[in-house]
Structure 1
Amino acid sequence: MTPKELKQILQALVEHGVSELTLETPDYKLTVRRGGEAPVVAVPQVALPASLPAAPPAPEPASAPAPAREATAKADECSGCVEVRAPIVGTFYRAPAPDAPPYVKEGDRVEKGQVLCIIEAMKLMNEIESEVSGIVKKILVQNGEPVEYGQPLFLIQPV
């Protein structure tokens, strides 16, 4: 499965409100869940010859990955803030066009339903709207960065 095919599947799940999908082929099994649980992607199931030694277990990380630690630290900076999260996988853009001003800047007041950014997925531009009225305290993603489903994008202090 190519990354493009995976993006198409994820976009279709979002568009049609599907909460779980399992796709099984002779080469791999893919399970994707949306909602309260994190998406799960299964690894290809490949039979190993009996002559190969078993791989040593991977060491468990001592702490959360750096992006997760950064998001947690940034969330701590703004107690009571609402996190606006990416509803889809794609590329984050702060403005509607490269030469246009950004939709919002840190410190701007926003209204519920106001466009905050665009996430491009499969050449489709998806406007991401504010879930609350308030003040943009922190923009957690840089322009042009890839974002994952559920990744925090903005911290907004409700007013």
Structure 2
Amino acid sequence: MTEVLFYHLTQSTLEQALPGLLERSVERGWKVVVQTGSEERRDALDAHLWTYRDDSFLAHGTDAEPHAGEQPILLTSGLDNPTQAQVRFLVDGALLPDLEPYERAVLMFDGLDNDQVAAAREHWKTLKAQGHAVTYWQQGDDGRWQKKA
């Protein structure tokens, strides 16, 4: 079964937290798909990942570009996995795909958005009932991730 991590954003925005998690995934040799709730959000994250830090380069592309299947990090609003990624991030209310093909899934949700919190609770129940190994991580006051469940 897929290991599913729920990341509850309480001290930073998705734009602040996501790049570091993507960097660590790539450092482990994993291909990654980041699924957004809309094409507009996909495009905004694409622009952000090129400029989030002056001293870093995070190779990525979107499913709207040529050679999408060759990207180490692919941003999409769809359910496909053309890169055969091992890790899938779901952000901004993205639909829950079949997680069986993945080693790990990361559901990131904004603690200030009641709809995202409610959706995360429902996903927790569904995925736990399906037998996935689920864990819950919350940001501490210092912004570091702390395992809570």
TM-score calculated relative to the size of structure 1: 0.24
- Larger Cα Rg: Structure 1 or Structure 2? 1
Which protein is richer in strand relative to its size? 1
Higher relative contact order (CA 8 A, sep 6+): 2
- The answer to which structure has the higher helix fraction is 2
Calculate the TM-score normalised by the size of structure 2: 0.25
